[in-house]
């Protein structure tokens, strides 16, 4: 990493996962790096640093530190991107500083974001994805909104909707499986998810380095199924990530001693054609932190 990307970990620190819940550091904080070092390194790799880092600084100034989840993403057939997520665990009550209208206003100096929404909708999170096209046109895609559900009544734990041309279009459904308490339920879900490939491939997603985490989310999307592993320690993540995203794995390995206090959140999207159910392919890999 570039020397300017080595962001020191403040002490004391508030460490949070991708649903903005706190977790305890896995090692002493002194001499360690902040998780956003990886974000800054990724932005530099894409030649986006000068454009996006001022957005990050503005967000931190307006909303506070450790209040924004970031996800860096690479795709099999699409461009890389970075997505920012804003939780409000009060279900968007009046005065929510992380409402889509408030976030659009924060980003106004950098880009135009379409917003058509009745803010009485009780969403618990919104997100905004940025890639090279967004930076070139200064026109952001519509927000994604995330709403909670009740598995017993609605059949899911959460859903994602896209605000698009005056419509709310369905995107994803989510089911969360705390580990190890709901290990068997998760395995049943994995066995029934045909887009994860054949039995040999599915073993890749239940290896101990990934399963020994805090919680695993299964997502059913329009074209893929996905697994999200929450709070994977740095040392445990390096091995699986070497096969998924070697460039980022090598950074975690090289700076492992300075990042060993952290846990990371990993997402993997998989899909396969209807004529090749034994051969799923990795469509997207995401790595998540908080800034």
pLDDT digits (tens, 9 = 90+) for 3-35: 999 999 999 999 999 999 999 999 999 999 999
What is the pLDDT at residue 125?
96
The boundaries of the domain holding residue 225 are 3-290
Confidence at residue 94, expressed as pLDDT on a 0 to 100 scale: 86
Tell me what pLDDT residue 116 has: 87
- Mean pLDDT is lowest, of 177-191, 224-238, 264-278, for 264-278
pLDDT grade, residue 131 (50/70/90)? very high
For 32-72, what is each residue's pLDDT tens digit? 999 999 999 999 999 999 999 999 999 999 999 999 999 99
pLDDT of residue 279: 80
Q: Mean pLDDT, to the nearest integer, of 86-115? A: 93
Three-state SS sequence of the chain:
CCHHHCCECCCCCCCECCCCCECCCCCCCCCCECCHHHHHHHHHHCCCHHHHHHHHHHHHHHHCCCCCEEEEEEECCCCCEEEEEEECCCCCCCCCCCCHHHHHHHHCCCCECCCCCCCCCCCCEEEEEECHHHHHHCECCCCEEEEECCHHHHCCCEEEEEEECCEEEEEEEEEEEECCCCHHHHHHHHHHCHHHCCHHHHHHHHCHHHHCCCEEEEEECCCCEEEEEEEEEHHHHHHHHHHHCHHHHHHHHHCHHHHCCCEEEEEEEEECCCCCCCCCEEEEEEEEEEC
Q: Which pLDDT belongs to residue 200? A: 84
Specify the number of domains making up the chain.
1
In this predicted structure, what is the pLDDT of residue 268? 97
Q: What is the pLDDT of residue 188?
A: 94
Question: 291 vs 278, which has greater pLDDT?
Answer: 291
């Amino acid at each position: 990493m570039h020397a300017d990307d080595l962001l020191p970990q403040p002490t004391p620190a508030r460490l949070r996962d991708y649903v903005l819940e706190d977790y305890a550091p896995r090692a002493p904080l002194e001499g360690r790096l902040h998780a956003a070092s990886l974000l800054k390194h990724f932005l530099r790799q894409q030649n986006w640093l000068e454009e996006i880092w001022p957005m990050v600084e503005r967000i931190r100034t307006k909303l506070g530190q450790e209040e924004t989840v970031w996800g860096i993403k690479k795709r099999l057939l699409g461009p890389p991107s970075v997505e920012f997520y804003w939780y409000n665990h009060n279900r968007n009550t009046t005065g929510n500083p992380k409402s889509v209208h408030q976030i659009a206003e924060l980003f106004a100096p950098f880009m135009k974001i379409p917003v058509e929404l009745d803010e009485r909708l009780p969403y618990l999170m919104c997100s905004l994805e940025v890639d090279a096209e967004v930076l070139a046109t200064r026109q952001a895609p519509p927000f994604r909104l995330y709403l909670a559900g009740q598995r017993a009544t609605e059949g899911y734990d959460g859903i994602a909707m896209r605000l698009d041309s005056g419509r709310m279009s369905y995107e994803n459904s989510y089911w969360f499986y705390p580990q190890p308490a709901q290990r068997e339920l998760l395995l049943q879900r994995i066995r029934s998810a045909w887009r994860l490939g054949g039995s040999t491939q599915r073993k890749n997603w239940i290896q101990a380095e990934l399963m020994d985490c805090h919680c695993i989310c299964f997502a059913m999307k329009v074209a893929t199924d996905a697994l999200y592993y929450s709070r994977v320690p740095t040392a445990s993540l390096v091995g699986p990530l070497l096969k998924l995203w070697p460039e980022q794995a090598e950074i975690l390995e090289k700076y492992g001693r300075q990042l060993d206090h952290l846990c990371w959140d990993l997402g993997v999207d998989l899909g396969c054609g209807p004529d090749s159910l034994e051969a799923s392919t990795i469509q997207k890999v995401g790595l998540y932190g908080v800034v």
